[in-house]
Amino acid sequence: MTSSALPVARSRRGRRAILAVVLALAGALGIGLTPAPAAAQTPGRYVALGDSFTAGPLIPNQSLSPLGCLRSDQNYPSEVQRTLRFGQFADVSCSGADTGDMTSPQNVTPGPNPPQFDALTADTTVVTLGIGGNDIGFSSILENCASLTPFGSPCRDRYVRNGVDELQQRIAATAPKIAATIQGIRARAPQARIYVVGYPAIVPDTGSGCWPSVPLAWNDVPYLRSTHKSLNAMLAQQAAANGATYVDVYTPSIGHDACRSSGTRWVEPLVPGNLAAPFHPNARGMDGMAAVVSAAIQAG
């Protein structure tokens, strides 16, 4: 070796010695130095349609397009997109939406929100749809069923008369609207896989609830739980009948209802303990729903 090569050789030996020390320390401290591989991107275009249970009202951060939709960038469509990384993504869900808002502008303040179907394109490959609750009057049902005492069954007495259940009639009347919505998606996005997402548990899956946190009379809780399950069953039936896949988020949400502690629940009670709208999913609930939806999409 020539004298001119000695500094280079020593420099290389010095770098190898430093690297050996760094690797030894990293091993001792349990630090991995191998860079994590970049998450694989899913080819195609993902479009999310839906109402407030999709949009995520009051969960930070709220979108400005338009602000009146109360759409969060931490809702389950956004979490699905962060997990699966589709090449294109459009979330046009909007609080208060019903099936009619798929094809007509929705008047929100400020707004309006364009017809949600406007986001569908011929190259759309995945669509999630969370709709139906407002078609049966979700908000008015909660308002009408709120009780100042835990006694009696004022909700059931209001909606079931002479053996006829008005809410079951509303669910039945919504079924063809769900069918038409799925068919409308198929017409605009013929290559898309369509996933109809149900609604998570609001009241416990058993028992008589937690008045006054969820201000429903004890005897009304089983009635409203049954109504909720009927709505989800109708969504599942219409998905199956129209070539879509139903995604059950109710079962995974059992034990995470609005009666649970603020660190456990997926849905908030009347007075939220997490940043979310009353009786709507919080960020934890959106994460839970996103995991189920992502798994369904990956399963094909």
CATH number assigned to the domain comprising residue 268: 3.40.50.1110
CA atoms within 13 Å, Cβ hemisphere of 15: 5
Would you say residue 239 has pLDDT above 60? yes
- Note whether 112 and 92 are within 8 A (CB): no
Residue 237 · residue 167 · CB < 8 Å: no
50 and 15 in a common domain = no
At residue 1, does pLDDT exceed 90? no
Question: Based on the domain organization, do 16 and 51 belong to the same domain?
Answer: no
| pLDDT > 70? residue 57 | yes
In this prediction, residue 39 carries a pLDDT of: 56
Same domain, 1 and 63: no
Q: Can you give the pLDDT at residue 50?
A: 98
Give the whole-number percent of the chain exceeding pLDDT 90.
Answer: 86
- Whole domain around residue 142: which residue ranges? 42-299
pLDDT, tens digit, 9 for 90 and up, residues 137-172: 999 999 999 999 999 999 999 999 999 999 999 999
Number of domains in the chain: 2
Residue (of 193, 202, 283, 205) closest to 247 by Cα position: 193
The catalytic residue positions are: 52, 280
